[in-house]
Structure 1
Amino acid sequence: MLGEQGFLRISIAATVMVATLGVVFGILSGSFSIAFDGVYSLADAAMTGLALWVSSLIIQSTRSDAQSGRIRNRFTMGFWHLEPIVLLLNGCLLMMVGVYALIGAIISILNGGYELQFGVAIAYSAATMFVCAVMALIGIRLNRRIRSDFISLDIKAWIMSGAIAFALLVAFLIGMAVQETSAAWLASYMDPAVLALVCLVMIPLPVGTVWKALSEILLIAPVDLQEHVDRIASDTVCRLGFVSHRAYVAQVGRAKQIELYFIVPEGLPAKTVEEWDALRDEIGNAIGDESANRWLTIAFTADREWAE
């Protein structure tokens, strides 16, 4: 069954193919927008490769073989923190490429546009749009089961590339249609005009991903996770007669990091280690989502300073 890494490998291969076609057809047709599409695809392939590498590290660190043991000994806190960093770099790169292309398109329009080989450009746009649509549909179906941020961002990239190809196809068809009419002067402006329009739509798309990744890098506590943990901790405090609790949570990539401290009354009757462990298991089960991606620490203390 196709998984996250399998899809990312296929995505890289398809992206490199589209990028190569974009550069070649951009030169043959004289289209800056097609060349931009190729460069955009190359940047996306590089970032998808980086995402694949991080995904492999995260998965490998959760295994129990000797090599994974050596990795965990060197990186005892895991690799989850790399995931939002890659997503942030990816989103920022896509936006910067879009801004650069928009500036170039505006300059071309002000300079009167340029001649274009519409036949070659139309062939490229149609082929690219088909590849993008297939990859986006495969990714959407797969991510309903996996729910991977890497695949989610890759799907957005394919949709963006497909939107570019579609807009180019429409513009090139219009440009070819008006060549023998009184509006033939419009043909020179088709390529930079549609590129500018696509960039205006494309630039804001990664903003949500960038903000989410930045909030994870800054360890901003997710509201829903904080409320969930606080509710369980408060119930435990009331049920067992503890004084209070302190909860520290963060979502870092696919990992949930939770530190939970319970302030117990001074002079509380002693419990065995096994009894404390059983209580930790009970609280952990109530929090849920027990997996290799949950980092949960539960401590009990009568000194508030240990919990602050």
Structure 2
Amino acid sequence: MNIESNVLDEQNVLRLSLYACSGFVLLALGFALLTGSDSILFDGIYSLIAFFMALLTLKVANLAERPDDERFHFGYTAMEPTLNLFKSLIVIATCVFAVVAGVNRLRAGGNPANYGIAVIYGALATIGCFAVAWRMHQRNRQFRSDLVGTDAKNWFVDGLLSSSILIGFAGAWLLERSAFSEYAPIVDPVMLITMSLLVLPIPTMILISSLKEVIHQAPAATVVDEIEQRLLESLIGVSYDHVEFRVRKRGRDLYLLVHIVVSDSFTRETISQLDDIRRHSQKEMQRWSPAIVMDILFVRDRQLAD
């Protein structure tokens, strides 16, 4: 599959997320008015945030495909982890606010809601969110986009929210018809607190992962080890004493800065011959991972590589 096709597929999937977000915002806010439920209102606010984030994601996906220019000498791919970092912070802040609101509502005696109608919302939202998350995950397996992957995780989170609403409201509906009906009003704030706490680990993990890219931390040791193995294989036939390389993940790109400390028996004499080595090595590395971007420098003094 060529790069142009991957870009088109990525943007089509992001548009799917955008359209689904707009539909879920209307669905959640409408049912929140009908039921008076804080949990559904939170779900609607979460979807509204996701809608605006989807707009930003689509814009960043377009920017990430631009070549470097006078303003951004290394291209626009660094915007991807920055956006994911921003999105995760927004979700974390929303969850914390929801926990505080749930605690306050609980201290006030709870929140009576129309649980029968809320169950209908829970069923529709759960099916819809998990369907969108599954579809985005399946499509992303074809082109490995961080933006699509993060959006798929967000939809999965929204599905967890909706499924907890469905289970909680079904229980509350049964509770209203039992001898313990006086406890039904506390179900809504308890669910709001529970949902928010269950959701927090996912944006927190996205935050940590994105922060590592923003501060240029090297990828996992297993990834670096595999890169080293494949890099050295691509340099078979080159006489060198040492190869020093540095790796950083920059959005969809995996950037390698390689210093080759040539040996005394190194016989290349022209720039064209050095370029042949660069082209061959980059071709072999990109055959393994098309996301790789490389700069290769040839030095004789090892201190210049350290």
TM-score (norm 2): 0.88
Contact kept? 1:220, 1:250, Cα under 8 Å: yes
Contact kept? 1:258, 1:297, Cα under 8 Å: yes
1:136-151 equivalence runs, <5 A: 136-151=133-148
Q: Which residue of 2 aligns with 1:226?
A: 224
Q: Which residue of 2 aligns with 1:5?
A: 11
Cα distance change of structure 1 residues 80 and 215 upon mapping to structure 2, 3 Å threshold: same
What amino acid does structure 2 have at the position aligned with 1:167? S
Deviation larger for 84-93 or 274-283: 274-283
Q: Which residue of 1 aligns with 2:77?
A: 80
Cα distance change of structure 1 residues 240 and 126 upon mapping to structure 2, 3 Å threshold: closer
**Where do 5+ consecutive residues of structure 2 fail to align?**
none
Instruction: Give the CA deviation at 1:252.
Output: 1.0
Equivalent position SS for 1:298? strand
What amino acid does structure 2 have at the position aligned with 1:51? T
Instruction: Give the CA deviation at 1:27.
Output: 2.5
Q: Which residue of 2 aligns with 1:101?
A: 98
Cα distance change of structure 1 residues 177 and 295 upon mapping to structure 2, 3 Å threshold: same
What amino acid does structure 2 have at the position aligned with 1:256? L
Contact kept? 1:225, 1:249, Cα under 8 Å: no
In 2: Cα distance, 1:36 partner to 1:276 partner: 59
Q: Which residue of 1 aligns with 2:170?
A: 173
Contact kept? 1:237, 1:245, Cα under 8 Å: no
- Percent identity between the two aligned chains: 25
In 2: Cα distance, 1:285 partner to 1:27 partner: 58
Q: Which residue of 2 aligns with 1:188?
A: 185
CA-atom RMSD in angstroms: 2.5
Q: Which residue of 1 aligns with 2:109?
A: 112
In 1: Cα distance, 2:79 partner to 2:230 partner: 30
In 2: Cα distance, 1:180 partner to 1:236 partner: 71
What amino acid does structure 1 have at the position aligned with 2:299? T
Q: Which residue of 2 aligns with 1:65?
A: none
Instruction: Give the CA deviation at 1:236.
Output: 8.0
What amino acid does structure 2 have at the position aligned with 1:183? F
Instruction: Give the CA deviation at 1:44.
Output: 1.2
In 2: Cα distance, 1:22 partner to 1:102 partner: 19
1:12-23 equivalence runs, <5 A: 12-23=18-29
Deviation larger for 18-27 or 45-54: 18-27
Equivalent position SS for 1:263? strand
Q: 1:46 aligns with which of 45, 52, 68?
A: 52
| Residue 87 (structure 2) pairs with residue 90 (structure 1) | yes
Contact kept? 2:238, 2:266, Cα under 8 Å: no
What amino acid does structure 2 have at the position aligned with 1:42? L
Q: Which residue of 1 aligns with 2:123?
A: 126
Equivalent position SS for 2:201? coil
| Residue 55 (structure 2) pairs with residue 57 (structure 1) | no
| Residue 301 (structure 2) pairs with residue 303 (structure 1) | yes
Deviation larger for 31-40 or 136-145: 136-145
In 1: Cα distance, 2:234 partner to 2:106 partner: 66
How many residue pairs get matched? 299
In 2: Cα distance, 1:10 partner to 1:304 partner: 51
| Residue 34 (structure 2) pairs with residue 37 (structure 1) | no
In 2: Cα distance, 1:236 partner to 1:157 partner: 38
TM-score (norm 1): 0.87
Deviation larger for 4-13 or 72-81: 72-81
In 2: Cα distance, 1:240 partner to 1:173 partner: 68
Instruction: Give the CA deviation at 1:229.
Output: 4.3
